[in-house]
Each structure stands twice: as C-alpha cells, then as structure tokens.
Amino acid sequence: MSKRKPYQREMKNDWWLKNIFYSRYMIREGSSILITLYSLILAWGVFRLSQGAEAFNAWLSALQHPVSIIFHLLVLLIALYHTLTWFSLAPKAVDLYIKGKPLDGRLIVAGHYITFVIATVFCLVIIML
Amino acid sequence: MTDKTIEIEILRYRPEQDEKPFPQQFEVPYHPDMSILEALQYIKDHLDSTVSFRWSCRMAICGSCGLMVNNIPKLGCKAFLRDYYPQKVKLEALANFPIERDLIVVMDDFIKKLEEIKPYIIPESDDKCLSEGTYKQTPEQMEKYAKFSMCINCGLCYSACPQYGLDKNFTGPAALALLARYNRDSRDAGSAERMKIVNQEQGVWSCTFVGYCSVVCPKGVDPAAAIQLLKVESSKDYLIGMFKPD
C-alpha cells in the first residue's frame, strides 16, 4: 500500500507581508482603492456643478478642509508610486524591434517619463490659463 | 579545512510518520564556495541519511534542486552559503506545491500544464517532404523567442507566484512562457490552438503582474514579460474576433 500523503501548506492571509517584493506589489495594486475614492470625489464635483454655482462652490470649499487636503496629498503620493512602478515594468509589455534588435528597455522607460512630463506641463498650462 | 560552521534548518516531512512538517537543525562545516546543495549532501552523508531532496546536474541545467532558501525560491546548486553566513539558513520545500517528503514537492500539476500548452512545433502542413529540406530561420526570427526557450522547468516561478498559490487553476508563468516561445517561433503554425488557452480566465488573465517570477528565474527567462506580451496578443485576438468571428 502506498504511504504517499502529500502535505498541502496553507497560504496565510499575511503572505504579502513576508516579502518586501510582495508588499510593494500590494501597495501598487492597493493604490487603486485611494484612486477610486479620489475619482468619486471628482465625479461628485461634476454632479454638484450640474446643480448650479452655489452647490459647486460648497463642494470647492469642502475640498479646502484639512482632512481633504491630507487625503489628496496622500492620493498624489500613492498615484506617483503607482505610476513610477508601472513605468519601470513597461519594457516587459513592449515588443518593439529596430533592425532586428529588441528596443532597449531604458529607452522605453525614458519615453514614458518624457510623455509624463509633457502631459503634466500641458495640464498645468491649461489650469493656469 | 576550516573550523567554521553554519546552522541549517530544514523543514522535514516524513509522510509515513508525521502529521505535519517540523523544523530540524543541522550544524554544517562552512566553506565560502559551498553551495546549499553541497550542504544538503553533507547532511545526508554525515548527519542524517533520511533527509530527502532532489538533485542531478549540480550546475543549474537540470532544474531538479529548487527549494525555498530563507523563504525565497532558489536552485540549491546556484545558491551559496557565503551569501548567508554567519546567519542561519532556513530550507523548505518549494512554496505553492504540496510536499511529497522533506524538500521534495509534487510537481504533477506543473507538468500537466506544460503538456497542455502543446510545447512542440505545429507545422503549417504535415505533407512537407523530407527532401524539401529543413525549416529555415534567420537570427532575427530566433531572437523573438530565444529568451523564452531557456526554461529548465525548475518550478521556481510557480513558487514565487502568489496568483498560482491562491488559485491552482492558473496556467502559471513557466507554461505560459513556453507557450509564448512556440507562438513566437516563425516555423510554428499552432498559435490559434494555443490562444484558446491564453484567452481563458485561467490563462494570461489570472496574472496580475506581480513580476516576482522573473526575479527568481535562474535562467533569465522573464515569464512576466512573456505573459504581458500574450495579454497584448489576447486583446488583439478578442478585437479581431469581434469583427471576424470564426
């Protein structure tokens, strides 16, 4: 008779705390929760705008509350983290060959940063004008 | 000979007598050029002959000696005591696989997945005559898949993949990298058959791009890249299917 009895180890809920690589991954993915909240607040603003100037101004002044400012700074920080980690992963999802040679990953990452800077400056200009 | 020693803890599991695994400590002579595999062989030869582990080539080619070293998947022959000394080294069977005995895991599920992806060249037609010669390929065409063909089936990437740990139905990194290797080969015409596996929920879409598979891979295969490229192919397949159903 076979004495085989394979033992299945359990994957505990805190698996992502045991390895810094997994923790960073969870922060990257977990950023979506804060970014969703941010998007909902923004969508709420658009809704308030449809209700008239008074409603929109009330929304604007609510944004100036210290809790709101801290929240938005936190979202900015985590969104930047998400962006930078994705930029560093970008070469893995790109399949470009130039003259039979694969495109250097550093060029792909640099391209992302350049686009990021141009888009940021463009948005700032629109807001400032 | 040196008098230095290093402490090695092995998670033991003997199915005929143990209910669950337990740690056992060993004191092994330390040499800077000694691999984890050599330390295990020292233990088996001099301290406890019942310790079980897999090994063969001792040079990162056979892919047999995968194990967790301080909770990180490594090949025993490619990890060295000098990188841990004087700290204790904790050895455990590869994570995410059932333990057969001590450091040996049951790899049946992984092997089944490797077989499922049709890991062979499916030619355009079967009636090509031998006299017509071999299938030719340029270095550029080979470059497209060469990296993904370096896999030695050690299973380290499955051990590093939390998605596989959470859902064993996921096709997983090595099998998908091997699938990409054949789909990207200019001599192969089996892409359509393999895309059925890729497009499934348990295919590439179970991957959330943790990326640790590529970090632990001892052969630089980069399964995470293979899967992301397959996601692009799968999306194209879906879009084309909307306009041109089979």
Read off the CATH number of the domain in which A48 is found.
1.20.1300.10
Residue B212's nearest CA partner among B72, B101, B92 is: B72
Cβ proximity of A107 and A113 under 8 Å: no
The pLDDT, as a whole number, for residue B246 is 64
State whether A60 and A99 are in the same domain: no
The pLDDT, as a whole number, for residue A70 is 96
ipTM over 0.85: yes
Strand partners, B35: B80
Element (H, E) at B28: strand B22-29
The pLDDT, as a whole number, for residue B62 is 97
Average confidence (pLDDT) over A116-128? 94
State whether A55 and A22 are in the same domain: yes
User: Is A116 in CB contact (< 8 Å) with chain B?
Assistant: no
Task: Report the residue from A8, A11, A91 with minimal CB separation from B166.
Answer: A11
Highest CATH level, class, for B5-105 = alpha beta
The pLDDT, as a whole number, for residue B2 is 62
Strand partners, B67: B74
Phi, psi at B169, each rounded to 5°? -75, -15
- Listed by start position, the domains of chain B span 5-105, 108-243
Report in angstroms the alpha-carbon separations of B179 from B37, B62, B116, B125, B212. 31, 20, 9, 20, 19
State whether A37 and A72 are in the same domain: yes
User: Is A29 in CB contact (< 8 Å) with chain B?
Assistant: yes
Report in angstroms the alpha-carbon separations of B201 from B83, B167, B171, B204. 40, 11, 10, 7
Question: Cβ contact (<8 Å) for A7 and B21?
Answer: yes
Cβ proximity of B172 and B97 under 8 Å: no
Phi, psi at B53, each rounded to 5°? -160, 155
pLDDT confidence tier of residue A85, bands split at 50, 70 and 90: very high
State whether A63 and A102 are in the same domain: no
User: Does the residue A85 lie in any domain?
Assistant: no
Cβ proximity of B144 and B186 under 8 Å: yes
Task: Report the residue from A7, A11, A93 with minimal CB separation from B228.
Answer: A93
The pLDDT, as a whole number, for residue B1 is 54
User: Is B116 in CB contact (< 8 Å) with chain A?
Assistant: no
Separation CA B59–CA B69 (nearest Å): 17
> Apex CA B218: angle with CA B122 and CA A81, to 5°?
100
Given the structure tokens 């801290």, which residue do they identify?
Answer: A70
Higher pLDDT, B245 or A1: A1
State whether A30 and A55 are in the same domain: yes
The first and second tokens of residue A46, run together, are 């658009």
User: Is B96 in CB contact (< 8 Å) with chain A?
Assistant: yes
* pLDDT tens per residue across span A20-75: 999 999 999 999 999 999 999 999 999 999 999 999 999 999 999 999 999 999 99
The pLDDT, as a whole number, for residue B117 is 95
Chain B residues inside the 8 Å CB shell of A15: 162, 165
| Domain limits for position A46 | 15-78
CATH 1.10.1060.10 is right for the domain spanning B108-243:
yes
The first and second tokens of residue B166, run together, are 């959470």
State whether A21 and A74 are in the same domain: yes
* pLDDT tens per residue across span A109-119: 999 999 999 99
Separation CA B116–CA B96 (nearest Å): 20
pLDDT at A94 over 90: no
B75 three-class SS: strand
State whether A101 and A59 are in the same domain: no
Question: Cβ contact (<8 Å) for A93 and B229?
Answer: yes
The pLDDT, as a whole number, for residue B149 is 96
- Give how far the C-alpha of residue B205 lies from the chain's centroid of Cα atoms, to the nearest Å: 19
Q: How many folded domains does chain A comprise?
A: 2
Question: Cβ contact (<8 Å) for A25 and B211?
Answer: yes
Q: Where are the alpha helices (DSSP H) in B131-209?
A: 139-146, 156-160, 162-166, 173-183, 191-199
Separation CA B43–CA B49 (nearest Å): 7
Cβ proximity of A94 and A103 under 8 Å: yes
User: Does the residue A60 lie in any domain?
Assistant: yes
Segment-wise mean pLDDT, segments of 10 residues, chain B, 246 residues: 88 96 97 96 97 97 97 97 96 98 97 96 85 88 93 97 96 97 95 94 95 96 96 93 78
State whether A64 and A100 are in the same domain: no
The pLDDT, as a whole number, for residue B38 is 97
pLDDT at A100 over 80: no
Separation CA B91–CA B41 (nearest Å): 13
pTM for the full predicted model: 0.91
- Give how far the C-alpha of residue A83 lies from the chain's centroid of Cα atoms, to the nearest Å: 5
State whether A43 and A98 are in the same domain: no
State whether A51 and A22 are in the same domain: yes
pLDDT at A96 over 90: no
Separation CA B38–CA A108 (nearest Å): 42
- End-to-end alpha-carbon separation of chain A, Å? 82
